[in-house]
């Protein structure tokens, strides 16, 4: 068991991949000399050299496209995109090329590409660097979308992504990089299942990524009031692990879905729909969502905080489902 940060765990995973396979290389803005916007790739240029740690021009369309070409040519590129907002420039490459190649070539070509994308708000970098658009990618068949939220997943999920013959998008919430945690040895991670991070019985808090620590804090607060919340970490945003989600909802009979995306058309909306479709008769209250307010994420600190899902909002939503009486 080691104690380390999410950033360090991610860097270890990258270093391990680079050392293990000469066809793995890194590409992205400021990942080399600068060490990465969030310092994830710090030191890797010195260790592996500029051939394998490649700084790119400010052109997501270009360098993600180059990654796809490299993957088609037999390489195992790991492309970093600075924020999900910027990734929209590469959306055409990812949706129209990477995700579609296997299907359009009748299975002759696959694109073993890994794209790491920073996402989320909370750092006062305003509306062009703070959004959570994971669900745009989770909408697209042909992609696997991961959202590691713990040190263990930051350390372990990259290997699974590299082993996948098809494109995998990894979303790293910017507020998680400094989070520290224990890494069990050996760690076991997969890129298929959701995980119950805290067992409970009265309400399911279903979330992922940067909202996981908030949901765990909310569960702790609720426990002090006699409400035992179960916290489900989605981990994999596409394909969703419905059995784990539904098992938790069926047990607790109430669900709060927490998602930093905007409410309308959110991943939370998809999860609520699946609950309604498959577990309606197990519900004791209508499922609710705690999402970001429907505004571009504000710059001012108090405004930004007010716009995002917060522990207090999750606690209030959960208590609203329990009703006038705390369960015995």
Partner 1 sequence: MIEFKLPSLGADMDQGKLVEWKVKPGDAVKRGQVVAVVDTSKAAVEVEIWQDGTLFEQLVPIGEKVPVGTVLATLLAPGETREQAEQQKRAARPALKPAAAVPAPPPPVAAPMTGAIAQRRPVSPAARKHARELGVDVDTVAGTGPHGAVTVEDVEKAAAAPAPPDRYVEMRKAIAAAMSRSKREIPHYYLSETIPMQRAAEWLARENEKRPVTERILMGALQIKAVALALARVPELNGFWRNGAFEPATGVHIGVAISIRQGGLIPPAIHDVDKKGLPELMRALSDLVARTRAGSLRSSEMSDPTITVTNLGETGVESVFGVIYPPQVALVGFGRMETRPWSEDGKLFTAPLVTASLSGDHRASNGIRGARFLAELRERLQHPEEL
Contacts with partner 1: how many residues (CB under 8 A)? 16
Contact window for partner 1 (CB under 8 A) among 43-51, 69-77, 120-128, 317-325: 317-325
Compute, in degrees rounded to 10, the torsion defined by CA atoms 173, 270, 241, 3: 20
Q: Which of 24, 53, 94, 321 binds partner 1 (CB under 8 A)?
A: 321
Contacts (Cβ under 8 Å, ≥6 apart) of 190: 160
Would you say 145 or 315 has its CB closer to partner 1? 315
Would you say 79 or 322 has its CB closer to partner 1? 322
Contacts (Cβ under 8 Å, ≥6 apart) of 112: 71, 76, 162, 164, 165, 166, 167
Query: At which residue do the structure tokens 């042909």 appear?
Result: 142
Contact window for partner 1 (CB under 8 A) among 61-69, 116-124, 211-219, 319-327: 319-327
Residues 141, 147, 153, 156, CA torsion sign? positive
Contact window for partner 1 (CB under 8 A) among 191-199, 257-265, 291-299, 318-326: 318-326
Tell me which DSSP letter residue 41 carries. Answer: T
Would you say 271 or 321 has its CB closer to partner 1? 321
Q: Is 46 a catalytic residue?
A: no
Q: Is 320 one of the binding residues for partner 1 (CB under 8 A)? A: yes
**What is the closest distance, in whole angstroms, from the C-beta atom of residue 252 to partner 1 in the complex?**
11
Q: Which of 212, 305, 201 lies closest to 253 in space, CA to CA?
A: 201
Enter the tokens of residue 204: 């399911």
Q: Is 322 one of the binding residues for partner 1 (CB under 8 A)? A: yes
Q: Among 8, 29, 80, 129, which one carries the catalytic annotation?
A: 129
Enter the tokens of residue 271: 């999860």
**Cis before 263? omega within 30:** no
Q: Is 129 a catalytic residue?
A: yes
Contacts (Cβ under 8 Å, ≥6 apart) of 1: 182, 183, 184, 185
Would you say 107 or 281 has its CB closer to partner 1? 281
Q: Among 29, 60, 134, 230, which one carries the catalytic annotation?
A: 60
Q: What is the DSSP string of 70-117?
A: HHHTT-EEEEEES-HHHHGGGHHIIIIIITTHHHHTTTS-----EEEE
Q: Is 201 one of the binding residues for partner 1 (CB under 8 A)? A: no
Q: Which of 51, 107, 224, 328 binds partner 1 (CB under 8 A)?
A: 328
Binding to partner 1 in span 246-305, by CB under 8 A: 253, 280-286
DSSP-based three-state secondary structure for 265 = coil
Q: Is 313 one of the binding residues for partner 1 (CB under 8 A)? A: no
Would you say 176 or 249 has its CB closer to partner 1? 249
**What is the closest distance, in whole angstroms, from the C-beta atom of residue 282 to partner 1 in the complex?**
5
Would you say 94 or 222 has its CB closer to partner 1? 222
Binding to partner 1 in span 39-58, by CB under 8 A: none
Compute, in degrees rounded to 10, the torsion defined by CA atoms 234, 235, 237, 243: -50
**What is the closest distance, in whole angstroms, from the C-beta atom of residue 241 to partner 1 in the complex?**
22
**What is the closest distance, in whole angstroms, from the C-beta atom of residue 285 to partner 1 in the complex?**
5
**What is the closest distance, in whole angstroms, from the C-beta atom of residue 226 to partner 1 in the complex?**
13
Beta bridge partners of 146: 170, 236
Distance of CA 51 to the CA centre of its chain: 29
Calculate helix-pair angle for 242-252, 267-279, nearest 10 degrees: 60
Binding to partner 1 in span 82-101, by CB under 8 A: none
d(CA 17, CA 219): 36
Active site (catalytic) residues: 60, 129
Where does this chain bind partner 1 (CB under 8 A)? 253, 280-286, 320-325, 327-328
């Amino acid at each position: 068991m080691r104690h380390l940060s999410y950033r360090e765990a991610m860097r270890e995973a990258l270093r391990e991949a680079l050392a293990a396979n000469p066809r793995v290389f890194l590409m992205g803005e400021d990942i080399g000399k600068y060490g990465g916007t969030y310092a994830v790739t710090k030191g890797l240029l010195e260790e592996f050299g500029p051939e394998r740690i490649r700084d790119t021009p400010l052109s997501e369309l270009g360098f993600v496209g180059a990654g796809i070409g490299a993957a088609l040519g037999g390489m195992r590129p790991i492309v970093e995109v600075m924020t999900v907002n910027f990734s929209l420039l590469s959306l055409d490459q990812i949706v129209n090329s990477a995700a579609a190649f296997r299907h359009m070539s009748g299975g002759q070509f696959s694109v073993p590409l890994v794209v790491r994308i920073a996402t989320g708000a909370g750092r006062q970098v305003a509306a062009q660097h703070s959004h959570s658009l994971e669900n745009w990618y989770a909408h697209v068949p042909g992609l696997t979308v991961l959202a590691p939220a713990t040190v263990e997943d930051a350390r372990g999920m990259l290997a699974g992504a590299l082993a996948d013959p098809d494109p995998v998008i990894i979303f790293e919430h910017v507020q998680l990089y400094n989070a520290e945690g224990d890494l069990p040895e050996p760690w076991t991670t997969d890129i298929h299942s959701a995980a119950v991070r805290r067992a409970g019985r009265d309400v399911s808090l279903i979330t992922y990524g940067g909202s996981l620590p908030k949901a765990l804090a909310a569960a702790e607060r609720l426990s002090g009031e006699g409400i035992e919340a179960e916290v489900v970490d989605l981990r994999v945003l596409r394909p969703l692990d419905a059995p784990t989600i539904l098992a938790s909802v069926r047990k607790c009979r109430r669900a709060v879905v927490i998602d930093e995306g905007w409410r309308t058309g959110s991943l939370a909306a998809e999860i609520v729909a699946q609950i309604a479709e498959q577990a309606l008769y197990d519900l004791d209250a209508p499922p609710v969502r705690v999402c970001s307010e429907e505004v571009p994420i504000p710059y001012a600190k108090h405004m930004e905080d007010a716009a995002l899902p917060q522990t207090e909002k999750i606690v209030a939503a959960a208590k609203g489902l329990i009703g006038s009486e705390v369960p015995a």
